[in-house]
Structure 1
Amino acid sequence: ANYCGRLWWMLKWAGHENVALLDGGLEAWHEAGGVVTSGPATTHPPRTFVLAAERAALVAAAEILKGLGRPSQSLVDARASARFRGEVEPLDPVAGHIPGALNRPFGQNIGANGKFKSPAELNAEFSLLLAGRDPATVVHHCGSGVSAAPNIIAMEVAGFGRQALYAGSWSDWSSDASRPVAQG
């Protein structure tokens, strides 16, 4: 599901507006009576696609560093809480998080039914997390830019508009020893 979310974000970044996800995945499709076929896919002749001038924001480490501690930037980290706190780090050489980041594990967006929570629930939860910070200042990140996508989708579903992504995320941030790291 995370990779589907990242593809959703990439298509939005490129300027596609008519992009959707199948909420609940293939299981929800089957439950709704959707049909699945096999065999060769229908092909269409290639066309030229021009990237839109205004795309979803993609933020680099230098911008994150410059914005640390400023109200013009609110960082939301989608990794599991133990990774965020620096208690475990299975992938990167440094454990912890970007100073000032808020933690919203991406799985918190999904309800017991396996689908995204309602827009009202997501709005309330993100409003509580942001605690008065402007949602337009949010930059999402995670370990490598994939699991941040469900948070981006959830905030859009909740009515907060288009969100920014730090695609390099923790793997990029922690690869430079000169960048600050927080734990706890």
Structure 2
Amino acid sequence: MIEVEVKAKITDFNAVKKMLKKINAEKDHIEHQEDSYFNSPIKNFAETDEALRIREVSVNNISKTFITYKGPKIDSQSKTREEVELEVENPKKIAKVFEHLGFKKVAKVIKNRTIYNIDQYIISLDEVEGLEPYMEIETDLEDGSEFEEELNKIFDIFKKLGINDGFERTSYLELLENKDS
């Protein structure tokens, strides 16, 4: 699966929410996410532009856990990349398995995410602990053959929302790490 994703820094969530209503985006839900990131014992994911995480998601007191691998970004203007995700049962046991295999937990990213939908696009308003507000727009493709077309459509949605700058290719993990250095 290829995840086509663009992120932008936002100054005013309320203004964005009004614009989302104007373009008929529908509010879906609010979720709390805690992402634990791991580094490989055989290569440095920061150097290879990959990521391995365990994500714990809570929506209305219902929790789910996912393991996600993200490959290197495939273009110069977005966060588009291969993504493989699997729902699992117990985050502590999965972390233990990773650690026994030599993976090291390197960081935790905590956020509250308000999710909207418009057509096949997911729009997320993200409040990340330690960062300013951000918004992501994404969609998934079976393969990467149409990613440029989808990327243009995502940028069109940003334009309709009045967002023409503040775009960011780095992950929340990288933004937090860069903030501390």
User: How high is the TM-score relative to the length of structure 1?
Assistant: 0.27
Q: Which has the higher helix share?
A: 1
Q: Find the structure with the greater CA-based Rg.
A: 1
Larger RCO: Structure 1 or Structure 2 (Cα < 8 Å, ≥ 6 residues apart)? 2
User: How high is the TM-score relative to the length of structure 2?
Assistant: 0.28
Q: Which has the higher strand share?
A: 2
